[in-house]
Amino acid sequence: MKIICIGRNYVEHIKELNNLVPEKPVVFLKPETALLTGNQPFHYPDFSHDIHYETEIVLRVGTPGHSISESAAIDHIDAITLGLDLTARDLQQYAKEKGLPWEVAKGFDHSAPLSDIYVPIGEFQDLKNIQFHMELNGDKKQDGNTGLMIFPFERIISYTSQFFSLAKGDLIFTGTPKGVGPIHKDDLLELFLEGKKMLSCRIE
């Protein structure tokens, strides 16, 4: 399986990182070894001193496809969950300055802590009004709503499936709202989808 990620999908987050609003979705991949499931702790690696959390809605592919139309896009998704797109901001900044790829800053081992809870997509009344938030040591740090996305689910699925065939079980991280920040050892990150706790991740 693969993990497709969208960057710069919320205007307020683009502003906080001094990026430009993209005309097309910004796409990158993480390898399967990036996954961290079962509410396991994340071990802070030696290669970075500035790892940031990014709380994101994650789509799970249920039906394979390629070059999917926007009108058929949602039929290819079977469930929604939450995850963290952990980012080595120092390595990413270096790569951006040099015009190099982001892979090591985004795709390192366990850079994608993921909830074990999958909510069937049919349970959502309105895909453009899904609320989610993240608490860091009990303080709400990120508060997002899919209505604030620049590129909605349909566009993300249609756009990325031109390049990457979607296989059953693939995951799509849909971008982070504003409020990203660094993690530190002993932090506890808790992710909530419409008020329901989905993931706990302790930093060690």
The verdict on 142 binding Zn ion (CB under 5 A) reads no
User: At closest approach, how far in Å is the CB of 33 from Zn ion?
Assistant: 18
Answer left, alpha or beta for residue 175, where phi above 0 means left and psi between -120 and 50 means alpha. left
**Contact yes or no for 119/81 (Cβ under 8 A):** yes
User: At closest approach, how far in Å is the CB of 105 from Zn ion?
Assistant: 11
Cα angle vertex 165, ends 164, 170, to 5°? 90
Nearer to Zn ion, 85 or 190 (CB): 85
101: helix, coil or strand?
A: coil
User: At closest approach, how far in Å is the CB of 70 from Zn ion?
Assistant: 22
The verdict on 174 binding Zn ion (CB under 5 A) reads no
Interaction pattern, residues 74-113, with Zn ion; x per rule: CB under 5 A: -----------x----------------------------
95: helix, coil or strand?
A: helix
- For residue 140, the one-letter residue type is K
* Residue ranges in 37-66 that form contacts with Zn ion under rule CB under 5 A: 54
Structure tokens of 141?
């740090």
| CA 85 to chain CA mean position, Å | 5
Structure tokens of 154?
């349909």
C-alpha span between 106 and 5 (Å, rounded): 10
Binding range to Zn ion, per CB under 5 A, among 26-34, 37-45, 59-67, 174-182? 174-182
Q: Which of 42, 158, 176, 189 binds Zn ion (CB under 5 A)?
A: 176
Structure tokens of 175?
């971008």
The verdict on 13 binding Zn ion (CB under 5 A) reads no
Nearer to Zn ion, 158 or 176 (CB): 176
Residues near Zn ion (CB under 5 A) are: 54, 85, 176
